[in-house]
Amino acid sequence: MITPAPGSAPLPDDAPEHAEAARAVAPVICYPTESLPPPDLALYAAARAQARKTGEVVVPPREGGCVPVRAGQFLRISCPEGPQVGDLNLWNLADPSERFYSGKTRALHGTHLGVGDRMWSGFPTLRPMATMTADSLGWYGVDGFGGRVHDVIGTRCDPYTHHLLSGGDYQRCCHSNLTRAFAGWTGQSAAEAEPLVHDVLNVFMCTGFTADTGQYFMKATPARQGDYVELFAEIDLLAGLSACPGGDCGAEHSSDVAQCHPLLCEVFAPPPAALEGWESPPVNGYDGSHGIAAP
Ligand SMILES: [Zn+2]
């Protein structure tokens, strides 16, 4: 059941006769997910309770960082000092050409992620890379502007759009921070690393679309010192995180104006016995032929 919007915009004078009827057609969900096996959140919670910390990376303000997270481990991202938005990339640790696909994740789970939602990889693997298992901002829900937290809408702030709109060059956008972090991890040049940087999960970011113009909006994150999300790694991952130059993203990004804070990435490993019954998901089962007969 899809809830109707509170009101439709007025129709233009030259609207066709069937306009009202067309607008009255009820929508259907594009990708019902009932056929997907639900994540075993009780198993994850029990494993997390037995996990011990094995590593941490502090991402400084307006910087990026990378942290490996093995399949079966948990990645906790938190605000150790104050409100801060993070832009998260995920790669397969062994093959970074397999990477997070925010668009399909959005199509499957909605514009913002919460506990139990998956982060999916792109084609041809299309499988869960991570599952959100904890979220201290789960209480936020949806506000009166349509704002929610942890979006998979906003791509990432980048120096190209900034140059397009302002004419200036800024080197601390999330896209550049992720490029530097990934290049530093792999030993690649910026030119080699940049194409593997991809659309993100906007951790802690509070966003939505305006009701009148449908424009993407942001507002100050409700995250405070100590807030966190946790992700369970379904496959071996390299996580890349940028502490966005927008800080809490309440005013502007792509500049040095906003007050920024670091982000903390911690890895927790449960004992293998705690994950009995869980298996790392295989790559997608589609045959890959696209209707082209083999020669
Ligand atoms: Zn950013």
Question: Each residue of 80-112: b (16+ CB within 10 Å) or e?
Answer: eebbbbbbbbbbbbeebebbbbbebbbbbbbbb
Give pLDDT tens digits for 194-228: 999 999 999 999 999 998 899 999 999 999 999 99
CA of 255 to the centre of ligand 1 (A): 10
CA of 70 to the centre of ligand 1 (A): 26
Give pLDDT tens digits for 128-163: 999 999 999 999 999 999 999 999 998 999 999 999
Q: What tokens appear for 265 in the block?
A: 């990435």
Flag the least confident range among 42-51, 53-62, 252-261, 271-280.
252-261
Residue 259 neighbours by CB under 8 Å, 6+ apart: 82, 247, 248
Cβ atoms of 45 and 133 closer than 8 Å: yes
With bands split at pLDDT 50, 70 and 90, how would you rate the model's confidence at 5?
low
CA of 57 to the centre of ligand 1 (A): 19
Higher model confidence: residue 256 or residue 140? 140
Q: What is the pLDDT of residue 9?
A: 82
CA of 52 to the centre of ligand 1 (A): 31
Domain definitions of the chain by residue range? 56-223+237-271
Q: What is the pLDDT of residue 265?
A: 98
Looking up tokens 């969900």 gives 29
Percentage of residues of the chain with pLDDT beyond 90 = 91
Give pLDDT tens digits for 68-118: 999 999 999 999 999 999 999 999 999 999 999 999 999 999 999 999 999
Which DSSP string corresponds to 226-293? T-EEEEEESS-EEEEEEE-TTTT-SS--SSS-S----EEEEEEE--GGGGTT--PPPPP-----TTPP
CA of 158 to the centre of ligand 1 (A): 7
CA of 249 to the centre of ligand 1 (A): 8
Q: What is the pLDDT of residue 4?
A: 63
User: Structure pTM?
Assistant: 0.95
Q: For residue 50, is pLDDT > 70?
A: yes
Q: What is the pLDDT of residue 208?
A: 96
What mean pLDDT comes out for the span 176-196? 97
Flag the least confident range among 20-24, 86-90, 282-286.
20-24
Q: What is the pLDDT of residue 212?
A: 86
CA of 97 to the centre of ligand 1 (A): 22
With bands split at pLDDT 50, 70 and 90, how would you rate the model's confidence at 255?
confident
CA of 124 to the centre of ligand 1 (A): 28
Distance between CA atoms of residues 14 and 246, nearest Å: 43
Q: What is the pLDDT of residue 1?
A: 59
What mean pLDDT comes out for the span 235-245? 98
At 155 the three-state DSSP class reads coil
CA of 155 to the centre of ligand 1 (A): 9
CA of 81 to the centre of ligand 1 (A): 18
CA of 156 to the centre of ligand 1 (A): 5
Percentage of residues of the chain with pLDDT beyond 70 = 98
